[in-house]
Structure 1
């Protein structure tokens, strides 16, 4: 992990926390935390793990063109990855997830990382869909509308680019082989080309309109289910807002967590969440109490289960560093495999 990125994430988190807590009476925030009805967390956590299971099914579906992996085997790997996102900056859990999948199921990291990138793009598209659903009912400030427009251009642009790559693999390969030959040192060309070939394998699910529709519908179901957790936890704090407000909150906070931040999305989750609720008439201290508890309820269960699966799968903390090293070294391994294959063909 680059040290400058860690410091950047810490700075972004501090800025968000400053604006989130500025002007609040912390005694009132603590009073809201202390007097909440925590029984509402029970159905909230149960619903959240339904969403995690749906995420596992989506990943299983995306991996089918690469290799079929059972849901039973994928679930612990996905949970370990989400735990990694919660305890390391820069969404390092995504690399950890691909590394553990490679170690357990012998799936190359490049195509599995491609499926994870596709997941994230679909998540972003669904978040924007939630915002558009809420727009007729929510007078968003101008800065937020501009952010939505820019985010829409980014996510839909990435999705379109991936569709083009998936629909025209031969043409895409011709382009990146030319680019590699033009801009990459000769010694690295076979390795980089091999990694790009494997990455393209991970986009296989985007070649079918039925598969794309299935992934999109599943993504909508995942985020609606997760928003139901927001709804359950809200009942423990004695306030009520329409469900579309919680959809908007889920969309904005999860788009904000794509920014660099400290591990666990400190600040980038809390600041926008408090601001959305306050804009819809929830008292600021109560909004802060709710958002902080919701954040903890999203963070702790999946992290605790991830630690358990680390022990069960015999994954050590040192493997997290090995995951990044494996990602960097995979081109060399793949290049060696390709040379060996060509030599066998000659024989």
Structure 2
């Protein structure tokens, strides 16, 4: 009971901190802008570019689902693209509306049961997906900062991005290079927690084989190109003469900001990062605020709607919750 109370208190503290961070970020933006000018900037936006941007985003999410199915198959699960679509989109919608990235927890522990994937396999694929995404995003950021001549970025930021990209990739490769050896050392243990760790490490080992890793990075490049397409089209819709590299930098900064604790939907840190990105591009505070609002809506609304439709169409995904409850009772 004491442990449950402690966990519950920690959850509420985390949620309170996230909401406070969101309010602080939004408050900073609001006191910098004229809200009437923000409204006018939004009204001047060319909606045709929003439609093109959402198509680019949809392409990116198709590749995300394909990548997840490939990862699951690499660790021994036999699933098809269409079986992975509903669990993936449903978890994104849950992440968008509930705190503490609960959608990731549901995708790792609940939804896979409906498609016959063990939790250990889905968890290892989720961890790998997050790490590969992080490294790919940093690589895109470093490359785009080096190529972009539009953004007024200090030299130290470019050097930091390059250093993080190189160091991160090396650390990722080294960490998973030994996962198979560690799994073999621990495989003799009969303890359930140790066995769960062994399965995780075996999954990492399977997904870091050269051909699989090359495929994952290739698909990840396409994932972030699709998302960058949304940002690029939004820049054009606001009348900026932007280059794809500038759009990638703004996308990367805004996406990395979602790692900061915030309220559900990454409200606040995302907006402040997008605001800063447009400021680097030379836009006014009102243009920056307008872009931050529309880019967030352009990401949040389509993915939340798609996830809600996926959940409504496949309610059997939640049967894993019943199984988890039955196991606790047993």
TM-based fold match above 0.5: yes
Pick from 102, 105, 108 the counterpart of residue 112 of structure 2.
102
Partner of 2:153: 140
Deviation of the 1:157 alpha carbon: 6.1
Q: 1:155 to 1:11 in 2, by over 3 A?
A: farther
Q: Secondary structure at the match of 1:200?
A: helix
How far apart are the structure 2 equivalents of 1:154 and 1:18? 35
1:78-115 CA-partner distances (Å, limit 9, x unpaired): 10011111112222211112234333122121221111
Per mean C-alpha deviation after superposition, the further-off stretch among 202-211 and 248-257 is 202-211
Conserved 8 A contact 1:162-1:203: no
Partner of 2:69: 60
How far apart are the structure 1 equivalents of 2:320 and 2:284? 43
Partner of 1:226: 227
Q: 1:131 to 1:91 in 2, by over 3 A?
A: same
How far apart are the structure 1 equivalents of 2:250 and 2:261? 19
Q: Secondary structure at the match of 1:264?
A: helix
Could you list the runs of 5+ residues in structure 1 that have no partner in the other structure? 182-188, 337-347
Q: 1:115 to 1:158 in 2, by over 3 A?
A: farther
Partner of 2:84: 74
Runs of 4+ in 1 over 6 A off after TM superposition: none
1:222-245 CA-partner distances (Å, limit 9, x unpaired): 101111111122232222222211
Residues 198-277 of structure 1: matches in 2 within 5 Å?
Answer: 198-277=199-278
Conserved 8 A contact 2:54-2:302: yes
Q: 1:275 to 1:207 in 2, by over 3 A?
A: closer
1:12-56 CA-partner distances (Å, limit 9, x unpaired): 212222333332111111111223222322222122111111001
Q: 1:212 to 1:89 in 2, by over 3 A?
A: same
Equivalent pairs, count: 317
How far apart are the structure 2 equivalents of 1:163 and 1:279? 37
Partner of 1:344: none
How far apart are the structure 1 equivalents of 2:135 and 2:67? 15
Partner of 2:31: 22
Q: 1:105 to 1:243 in 2, by over 3 A?
A: same
Q: 1:252 to 1:104 in 2, by over 3 A?
A: same
TM-score (norm 2): 0.85
How far apart are the structure 2 equivalents of 1:321 and 1:154? 38
1:319-342 CA-partner distances (Å, limit 9, x unpaired): 59949x94x998x89xx9xxxxxx
Deviation of the 1:133 alpha carbon: 1.0
Deviation of the 1:310 alpha carbon: 1.1
1:136-175 CA-partner distances (Å, limit 9, x unpaired): 3355347745864785487436513542233xx243442x
How far apart are the structure 2 equivalents of 1:295 and 1:14? 16
Q: Secondary structure at the match of 2:261?
A: coil
Question: Aligned pair 1:116/2:138, yes or no?
Answer: no
How far apart are the structure 2 equivalents of 1:10 and 1:254? 18
Could you list the runs of 5+ residues in structure 2 that have no partner in the other structure? 1-7
Conserved 8 A contact 2:93-2:307: yes
How far apart are the structure 2 equivalents of 1:135 and 1:39? 28
Q: Secondary structure at the match of 2:198?
A: helix
Q: 1:320 to 1:26 in 2, by over 3 A?
A: farther
Conserved 8 A contact 2:177-2:205: no
Q: Secondary structure at the match of 1:254?
A: helix
How far apart are the structure 1 equivalents of 2:200 and 2:326? 15
Deviation of the 1:121 alpha carbon: 0.8
How far apart are the structure 2 equivalents of 1:272 and 1:305? 25
How far apart are the structure 1 equivalents of 2:218 and 2:78? 21
Alignment RMSD: 3.0
Conserved 8 A contact 1:111-1:203: no
